[in-house]
């Protein structure tokens, strides 16, 4: 039986003047450490590049794919590893927002045909 998939979304910013350190830490330490937590299947980072209705307060997005029946249990497992993960002074903890979204419909794809 296929397990349920969920998206864990984390929005954040670097501390002013520490963007390079923030990005290096996030890519080389934080994402790999999160992916060691059971239920975490993939992770990818993004930087804000365009906006339609104003800019959000966070400029960076991390999207993790989770797999399991209980996304809260996966987040609890992540929280339990907090002391084992590498902290960074370049990460602005006050800017952090996190959520898990679970699918409610089938994934749809754009048609390859021209209209």
Summarised one tens digit per residue, pLDDT across range 40-61 is: 999 999 999 999 988 889 999 9
Q: Which helix (H) or strand (E) holds 94?
A: strand 91-101
Domain architecture of the chain: domains with CATH? 5-95 (3.30.70.1320)
Predicted TM-score (pTM) of this structure: 0.90
The segments of the chain whose pLDDT lies below 70 read: 1-2, 113-115
């Amino acid at each position: 039986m296929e397990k349920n998939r969920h998206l864990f979304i984390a929005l954040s910013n670097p501390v002013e003047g520490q963007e390079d350190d923030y990005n290096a830490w996030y890519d080389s330490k934080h994402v790999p450490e999160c992916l060691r937590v059971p239920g975490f299947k993939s992770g990818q980072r993004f930087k804000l590049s365009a906006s339609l209705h104003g800019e959000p307060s966070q400029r960076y997005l991390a999207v993790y794919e989770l797999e399991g029946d209980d996304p809260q249990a996966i987040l609890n497992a992540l929280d339990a590893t907090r002391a084992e993960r590498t902290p960074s002074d370049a990460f602005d903890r006050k800017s952090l927002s996190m959520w898990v979204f679970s699918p409610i419909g089938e994934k749809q794809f754009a048609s390859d045909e021209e209209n």
